[in-house]
Structure 1
Amino acid sequence: MSSPADAGTALDRVTAQQVLDSQPFSRLVGARLTGFGDGAAVLEVDVRPELTQQNGFLHGGVLSYAADNALTFAAATTLGSAVLTGGFSVQYLRPASGRTLTARAEVVHTGRRQAVVRCDLHTVDEEGTEALCAVAQGAVLAVRPA
């Protein structure tokens, strides 16, 4: 794991949560950061009926959203705060059901302008049992100020 590219633009957990809270869609789904720092981020979303699809499972778009944001927040711990998702892929392993979705992202490699990040998405049921429901991997890019 690399050090932040520009320590002056590094995020702390409080500021990272403020950034997440400033995203209207993140507020809509009720996302929260429960872990942030040292090349990793954990994002959680409580499962609610309005986030499910016609069969009662958590909608794949919500899983994709959680992966995207977790990947980007993890990368921000190594690249600094000015980052954007360059692209990512998601493999859905099983239908997502439970009470909470947890997206755990970890930086695999950081270069000067790009980080490669992996994310495991689990659902947690009422008893606290986790089930891996999707995995994602992506590239996050450091952006230059305009």
Structure 2
Amino acid sequence: MSQSLDLALARKVLAEQPFSRLVGARLTAFSKGAATLELDIRGDLLQQRGTVHGGVLGYAADNALSFAAGSVVGSAVSTAGFTVDFLRPARGEVLRARAEVVRAGRTRVVCRCDLSTVDAEGTETLCAMAQGSIAVLGPSEPRATGTDQLAPNA
């Protein structure tokens, strides 16, 4: 597997994002044209009605979309825009954001993302869908730490 599709490297890049560490996000899958990001649903990620805050859902979609795009066009990407449609309240044990590339062009990558919750029994329930446009910034450049950044501006 090439370094650009290395799950361990992608996880390292995610771990370098302070907000991703704050919410406890983890990449569970990373391959050409696809990425899956998960986080445990905790009390401090909920809104006043006891469901996952929309900002957390937006974060998960944004990062999953960017990682999926980066798997196809390289690490120099940045989210140009995305929309989220909330389908039902997000309740469960785990939030899962599964993104895939729809079309990769020279300057933009269009991706979609299904956001689901997983309950204690392992049942997955779709709670939101997102679509995003990821800008291709140019050739990937190593970061000062020497780590090739897969989704630098997610």
1:41 aligned onto 2:35: yes
Counterpart residue type for residue 58 of structure 2: S
Counterpart residue type for residue 54 of structure 1: Q
Pairwise CA distance, 1:114: 1.3
TM-score (norm 1): 0.91
1:128 aligned onto 2:128: no
Show CA shifts across 1:74-125 (max 9, x none): 0001110111001000000000000000000000000112110000000000
Contact 1:45 1:100 in 2 (8 A): yes
Counterpart residue type for residue 14 of structure 1: A
Identity %: 61
Counterpart residue type for residue 61 of structure 2: A
Corresponding residue number in structure 1 for 2:57:
63
Corresponding residue number in structure 1 for 2:101:
107
RMSD of aligned alpha carbons:
1.5
Corresponding residue number in structure 1 for 2:110:
116
Give 4+ residue runs of structure 1 displaced > 3 Å after superposition. Answer: none
Counterpart residue type for residue 23 of structure 1: Q
Q: Which of 92, 100, 116 is residue 98 of structure 1 equivalent to?
A: 92
Pairwise CA distance, 1:140: 0.5
